[in-house]
Structure 1
């Protein structure tokens, strides 16, 4: 009988030992998992702290990006636009990583709740970290909204600058065109060469004087109302040489242009071969019409 009691006692002791050993192994495993969760949490918190600091630094720099929009086409504007996109990308990346961290903390909390040994302090830390991450995400989202508003405002300014520049270009183009047209008009002159009969027939010259006068007689003069039609059109600043039809003949200028600004006139005040104008502005000053008659 005593032997049976002893055997039963030994059996119960063995069972108790096995149970204690299993509990110890479970507790050890729980402690290891808790320790791993702590390490994971610390890593996540450190990473998030670094991330938020980096984002804060980038946002501080970003506030000055494009503060003074430049005219379209300038390199500085392109760089500022590129930098703004980089900052917005980093903000979006930060929000994504914070969301992932929050999800990771939630999974850690679920795993801790499933452990045999509860660690209320660690669960409390997880709750605190989750709250911190939520606050950080809210802060970054607010900064994102502010920065996006700044960018939208700057885009509006840039659009306005584009419109201003386009208007300025149009005005400049118009003024340039008008200026060129004015210059062309000022430099446009006319000449005609012919015999007395030809010039009178074209209506560009008239014969003045009276056949009853003893002294003087007739002389050729420019018609009072001249039009460009019978004349050859040239540019006074570009066409300084006017060819004459017959090199062997002498020609006389009927209009008021002075021979002082013609190269090598003849001694009797005539020209031969061609009219070489030495000072266009002074030569054409009296009239934009030049009438030359063959002598």
Structure 2
């Protein structure tokens, strides 16, 4: 369903996956394209992605250095990654988009929204990294414990074709972007600048990202909804793909008219 392509950007080649077809809104205009930024584990195509792509054109860039891709010269921080994504949106999408960031990708997405507000219409932050005060949460050192905290339902995962070495390289790649601090205070100080209406998602079984992250984001971002996704661990879109896709699609479709469906066992602030 998703095709792998390459964008030629100023810093070099950026690989990405793309698929889906945008439906039209109530006025007959096509929905904006959606850019979804992956977490530290790398690109993971799940049922949630396919469900979202049923009504949207979905673009999924691969962070340079992840999944066997090369690093790009000068792209070595969250702010330069954000600039790369903004350039990608301009080159491949024609500019404005809805932006979804998961975990490490949520961290990137916040920097995109702060530094490049002109490209972000709606923002979704799912289990966002970068906002762990006092070092709370984080990834455990044990591979077995890490998998247990990533997924509540590993049986729902698609087949993983990556080698253990590639998986480990993905996790280590975040250090290339100087992400050693659990709390990005310079970014926290600028969250109030985010203009986009934002949906904050947090799994009720989450252990890697502490609940304090939700408080930091919800207290700082001016216009937001906070939704707890029932029975989901860190990779909430893999644990509960139908619920994730339903809530996100409804938010992207309705924007300021978004109302959480309580039948989804979610809660909004």
TM-score by length of 1: 0.17
Structure having the larger proportion of residues in helix? 1
Computing the radius of gyration from Cα coordinates, the structure with the larger value is 1
Indicate the structure with greater strand content. 2
More relative contact order in 1 or in 2 (CA 8 Å, sep 6+)?
A: 2
TM-score (norm 2): 0.18
